[in-house]
Chain A
């Protein structure tokens, strides 16, 4: 009886993880399928589909686009979020509670609505759809997140260092660049990598706001329309691998540092 009680939490844990990760495991497993369809029984393994994926120039172009959009939009989101956090944390502004609320508000709006809103705005303004518009959409969804993370980590303890820097002759932008930003590095990196992962898997905005150059999720979607194939499993596995790699980098650089302090 006691042994059972002790085993129960472990069983629960195992079931929970199985529920979360089983689809991913199936996806990865059947990317090695030696056959035309990614369905049981498993035959193989083979690396044929990976070879095909990596030699597909359209897929590789989409992969490159995805990286470009993810890195560019995340860098911009972090920069804007940092500047907003500095302003709102360090100065008493009229209506700062309202400003904070408005900055965070896009988090509560669905991506579909944001994408539709941007689409009609761009149409009305006569701007063409491109990777730039996708990037702008990703800044819209990631800026609130970056702002929230950075703002939360701006405590009072940096204030005296900033004061010291000013006292030693630093102009305001140098105070931010040489003192505030380096001290907030863990938060800045966390915001950046989270933004990269969100932008990396984002589909709706990327789908509605792009035309000729598309990001990887959009390319995968158009492949799926022609039916299931181990090829899509292989791409999915690669995307998953990149996400895991990002997560590990985040864990190793940011959270370990934060934990040590």
Chain B
């Protein structure tokens, strides 16, 4: 089963401090949503509110159109996959997975059949009689997933479930999570602080910071057209340059005075309405959109301070008139440390956001 989730104006205070401040989200049925943000940004609090473990100080949560106010976790159409898996150590895997069905009064035969089905889905059917302590971390994780899905919830909440796994296993589990989500169609809401993980699995990402939603869009949109400076910086490396709007430059473009002289930007580069002349803006340029050209908006000359070969590209730290910039040079680049290069930014990939403090 699956259901849409609607979060309307939810806040949560701990004493004076707001863990969540007026958060609203509309999540469609069957979406894979990732709540992404640094620790303490409120993403886990939001998940706990959805699961019914924490009650909001203000606002409402609707799941499948039903108001969840006052409903305990047991009565919600949600199940949670906990960070520490929280498997019952005294029960075999099949009993762990069948626990939710047992609580719903299903007879043993029926719940064992369903539990086996779920264990099969995560590839652990042959270990059904074993106890959790006999399993590896990745296997326990799968059992936790099977247990949470066995009761066929409308919404599955995942609380940093991959945090304790090593990198290789984490990538593999991301693939599996995504595949299983496609198969069962349940709405998944997944919490993580790992931006790569978020991009790998999410249909849409909710970027959170200091209890607020900074951005809510597909991974590509957030990466290429971030709606806030925080969101731009959190979704991978980004160069920030400050500039001032001078006025219209005709043909839907705006003239700006940048750190390396005047430049013209199309209106589409601005998030939101085009700012008035005199407004300070911050230009966000991804390292791969910066390079020696040809073409693009000139940003002056720079000297390569450091080079690191990262496989897909070479990461260069370039010091120029505008402070250090990070540039992704192509894999086959022959540049060396100490070389001087021209810096040009691809205009179509450049994003201008209101400067910090405005």
Asked if A29 is an interface residue, CB under 8 A from chain B, the answer is: no
**Cα(A164)–Cα(B148), bound, Å:** 9
Contact A163 B72 (CB under 8 A): no
| Contact string against A for B residues 142-157, beta-carbon threshold 8 Å, 1 for contact and 0 otherwise | 0000011001000000
Partner of B104, one of A165, A167, A169: A169
Asked if A220 is an interface residue, CB under 8 A from chain B, the answer is: no
**Cα(A96)–Cα(B57), bound, Å:** 26
**Cα(A133)–Cα(B148), bound, Å:** 49
Which residue on A lies nearest to B147, using beta carbons?
A168
Chain B residues near A58 (CB, 8 Å)? none
Asked if B298 is an interface residue, CB under 8 A from chain A, the answer is: no
Residues of A in contact, count (CB < 8 Å): 17
Chain A binding site: helix, strand, loop or mixed by DSSP?
helix
| Contact string against B for A residues 142-182, beta-carbon threshold 8 Å, 1 for contact and 0 otherwise | 00000000000000000011011111111100100011001
Evaluate whether A183 and B73 lie within 8 angstroms (CB atoms) in the complex, with A160-B82, A170-B103, A174-B103 already known: no
List 9 additional A-B contacts (Cβ < 8 Å) besides A161-B86, A165-B88, A170-B74: A160-B82, A161-B88, A166-B74, A167-B79, A167-B80, A169-B103, A171-B74, A171-B103, A183-B89
Residues of A within 8 A of B (CB): 160-161, 163-171, 174, 178-179, 182-183, 185
Partner of B103, one of A160, A163, A168, A185: A168
Evaluate whether A164 and B151 lie within 8 angstroms (CB atoms) in the complex, with A169-B100, A169-B104, A183-B90 already known: no
Contact B53 A163 (CB under 8 A): yes
Asked if B267 is an interface residue, CB under 8 A from chain A, the answer is: no
**Cα(A164)–Cα(B85), bound, Å:** 9
Chain A residues near B104 (CB, 8 Å)? 169
Evaluate whether A167 and B73 lie within 8 angstroms (CB atoms) in the complex, with A183-B89, A185-B90 already known: yes
Chain A residues near B73 (CB, 8 Å)? 163, 166-167
Distance in Å: Cβ of A258 to nearest Cβ of chain B: 13
**Cα(A168)–Cα(B53), bound, Å:** 12
Contact A164 B86 (CB under 8 A): yes
Which residue on B lies nearest to A160, using beta carbons?
B86
Contact A182 B86 (CB under 8 A): no
**Cα(A260)–Cα(B98), bound, Å:** 27
Chain A residues near B291 (CB, 8 Å)? none
The 8 closest A-B pairs by CB, nearest first: A168-B100, A169-B103, A164-B86, A160-B86, A182-B90, A167-B73, A169-B74, A170-B103
Contact A168 B86 (CB under 8 A): no
Asked if B84 is an interface residue, CB under 8 A from chain A, the answer is: yes
Contact B99 A165 (CB under 8 A): yes
Which residue on B lies nearest to A165, using beta carbons?
B99
Chain B residues near A160 (CB, 8 Å)? 82, 84, 86
Chain A residues near B84 (CB, 8 Å)? 160
Contact B90 A164 (CB under 8 A): no
Chain A residues near B79 (CB, 8 Å)? 167-168
Asked if B354 is an interface residue, CB under 8 A from chain A, the answer is: no
| Contact string against A for B residues 85-126, beta-carbon threshold 8 Å, 1 for contact and 0 otherwise | 011111000000001100110000000000000000000000
| Residues 237-272 (chain B) with a chain A CB within 8 angstroms | none
21 contacts between A and B (CB under 8 A): A160-B82, A161-B88, A163-B53, A163-B73, A163-B82, A163-B86, A164-B147, A166-B73, A167-B73, A167-B74, A167-B78, A167-B80, A168-B79, A168-B147, A169-B75, A171-B103, A174-B103, A178-B99, A179-B88, A182-B90, A185-B90
Asked if B42 is an interface residue, CB under 8 A from chain A, the answer is: no
Chain A residues near B147 (CB, 8 Å)? 164, 168
Distance in Å: Cβ of A134 to nearest Cβ of chain B: 35
Chain B residues near A182 (CB, 8 Å)? 88, 90
Chain A residues near B90 (CB, 8 Å)? 182-183, 185
Contact B72 A166 (CB under 8 A): yes
Asked if B211 is an interface residue, CB under 8 A from chain A, the answer is: no
Which residue on B lies nearest to A182, using beta carbons?
B90
Which residue on A lies nearest to B157, using beta carbons?
A167
Chain A residues near B148 (CB, 8 Å)? 168
Which of B72, B86, B89, B104 counts the most chain A CB atoms within 10 A? B86
Asked if B51 is an interface residue, CB under 8 A from chain A, the answer is: yes
Distance in Å: Cβ of A181 to nearest Cβ of chain B: 10
Distance in Å: Cβ of A164 to nearest Cβ of chain B: 4
Contact A167 B103 (CB under 8 A): no
| Residues 50-76 (chain B) with a chain A CB within 8 angstroms | 51, 53, 72-75
Chain B residues near A185 (CB, 8 Å)? 90
**Cα(A160)–Cα(B88), bound, Å:** 10
Which of A161, A165, A168, A179 counts the most chain B CB atoms within 10 A? A168
